Chains A and B, each alone.
Chain A
Amino acid sequence: MYAQMVDTGVQRVLDAAELEGDERRFQDRIDAGIRVEPEDWMPESYRRTLVRQISQHAHSEVVGMLPEGNWITRAPSLLRKATLLAKVQDEGGHGLYLYAAAETLGVSRDDLIDALHAGKAKYSSIFNYPTLTWADIGAIGWLVDGAAIINQIPLCRCSYGPYGRAMVRVCKEESFHQRQGYDIMTRLAQGSEAQRRMAQDALNRWWWPAVMMFGPPDGESVHSAQSAAWRIKLHSNDDLRQRFIDQTVPQAELIGLTIPDADLRWNEERGHYDIGPIDWEEFYSVVRGDGPCNRERLAARKSAWDRGAWVRDAAAAHAAKHAGEQK
């Protein structure tokens, strides 16, 4: 997802009975559904895990502005241009709320950004794929924002107050984005032959990366289990992925597009769609830094940051000169 395979730093999830003192009281409150707020005591591993998860999420919003920003100047109508500008602006806003949520855990935004630029912090694998045609803007809204919503709606109820509240605001906007993306795809799918081909090609390229966004099956992952115990992960990756597939397949059918999976079929017994094998090799390569656009995305972020250094210095110098003045 926007935060994939978050390391909790623990070796084994301890049973409630094995916990003592503050740790025991902390887990009891979480089990009782009481929210953790910044001023509350929390285990260091919980705090560090949340910083990782929230900052990955924030970085994803900000890096995610790049592939879509790639098409603002070429949007094919003024209405689409305006809508895409508004979407990219929203994603920047999501980045801001999320950095602010992370800062409640005692880290600074600048440090988090440094970690991103140094390649130490991750962002979602999905944003390392290129946007090649206008239809990719439709596919991203429909599939990527669609997947994000499925992941984030449960997080509105996560144990950490500032993160849950940020998710409530974010989810409202993501659902707009999803509808706008689907609207772009619908229009293309009902358009000329060239437009239909563009739409199908975008679905072909974005489908599997979107399915992979939820991350590999949790299996025996101790990190997933710990995050679940802390209620900062509320469903398994496979459950969320299934929800996404079950929701999206009929939407594709409705507009006459074909999901690029020969093994896709409805399983009457399970009441869910079955899909073909996922190429996890591809996923791990993208996460390792070998996706089609990893280098460009990071280079673009670093370049913007470096080129902006003199601007930030000037703003700081100006503020220092005029500190104490009434504006």
Chain B
Amino acid sequence: MSLFDHVLSLGDNALILGQQLSALTGHGPVLEEDIATANIALDLVGEARLWLSLAGEIEGAGRSEDDLAFLRDEIDFRNVLLVEQPNGDFADTMARQFLFDAWHEALLAALCASADPRIAGIAGKCRKEALYHLSHSAGWVIRLGDGTAFSHDRMQQAVRNLWPYTGELFEADAGGTALIGANAGDIRPLWRQRVADTLARAALEVPADRWMQGGGRRGIHSEHMGRLLAEMQHIPRSHPGARW
């Protein structure tokens, strides 16, 4: 992966997850949660803007954050499959969020030490938000896991269903590791620890590792991705060159 691809992948993860959460605003289980969901979506879209702008700068071909978000084809998106999994019900949404947040915050923390000051700067800014996201989603994993029998089963099933998408978070990069200053494999123990601790507090089992799905970071996505992009990109693509 080139530096451009690395930075794109950081932006695409935040963008696609932010897009998914933004579909939920106004439909949450309680008003406080609608506000929190919109806030987290807003943080993620804000983070995506920073990474995509930087990616455009690194590429040097004059592409803006919006060009990259709205005018790229699916095969050029570098996000992990985890973030494109459907919202499902509240347990599915929160399990996806927690598995992502536990990794996202650790990655941003590592990137704070990047030799590239632009990367370190964005990571430093977004890490504080990611920490809040993690405490919010971990709180719901615990509440649902250790709530009623029904919520426990729903959360256990959600974690189990999403587990095969967690391996991709730690895939080693073919083109070397030092480009952005953080090695994906290095944050795995911290992620494991966080997941184990939170699931234990939630009275949930950590699923056994089995075959892990991958491909998102190489542009091979799931069936969900096409519809998500169609919805997100349709206006700018219908009005080429328009400013909004």
Measured CB to CB, the residues of A under 8 A from B are 62, 65-66, 69, 72-82, 85-86, 88-89, 92-93, 95-96, 99, 134, 184, 187-188, 191-192, 194-195, 300, 303-305, 307-315, 317-318, 321
Contact = CB atoms under 8 A, between A and B. Distances in A.
Contact of A85 (B22, B143, B146, B150): B22
B148 A310 contact: yes
B90 A308 contact: yes
6 interchain residue pairs of minimum CB distance: A308-B29, A314-B147, A314-B151, A89-B38, A65-B26, A311-B29
Given A92-B34, A310-B150, A191 B49 contact: no
Interface residues of B, number: 49
25 contacts: A65-B25, A65-B26, A69-B25, A72-B41, A74-B234, A77-B70, A77-B236, A78-B15, A78-B69, A82-B42, A82-B49, A85-B38, A86-B38, A92-B35, A92-B38, A93-B35, A96-B32, A187-B244, A192-B241, A194-B239, A304-B27, A308-B33, A314-B151, A315-B143, A318-B144
B159 to A, nearest CB: 15
A308 B33 CA distance: 10
A82 B89 contact: no
A120 B55 CA distance: 53
Interface in B80-95: 89-90
A318 B242 contact: no
Interface string B41-61: 110011011001000000000
B146 A321 contact: yes
Nearest to A84: B22
B239 A192 contact: yes
A77 B66 CA distance: 6
A315 B147 contact: yes
Contacts of A65: 25-26, 34
A71 B24 CA distance: 12
B198 interface: no
Contacts of A300: 26-27
Interface string B150-174: 1100100000000000000000000
Given A69-B25, A73-B232, A96 B31 contact: yes
Nearest to B38: A89
A195 B34 contact: no
**For A95, A96, A310, A312, which residue has the most chain B Cβ atoms within 10 angstroms?**
A310
Contacts of B209: none
Contacts of A75: 235
A317 B148 contact: yes
B190 interface: no
B14 to A, nearest CB: 11
**For A79, A85, A192, A310, which residue has the most chain B Cβ atoms within 10 angstroms?**
A85
A164 to B, nearest CB: 22
B28 A304 contact: yes
A81 B38 CA distance: 11
A191 B31 contact: no
Nearest to B94: A311
A81 B25 CA distance: 13
B142 interface: yes
B19 A313 contact: no
A73 B31 contact: no
A292 B232 CA distance: 26
A80 B42 CA distance: 11
Given A85-B25, A93-B35, A78 B48 contact: yes
Given A66-B26, A310-B148, A314-B151, A81 B45 contact: yes
Nearest to B27: A304
Nearest to A190: B243
B242 A308 contact: no
Interface in B107-165: 142-144, 146-148, 150-151, 154
A264 B22 CA distance: 40
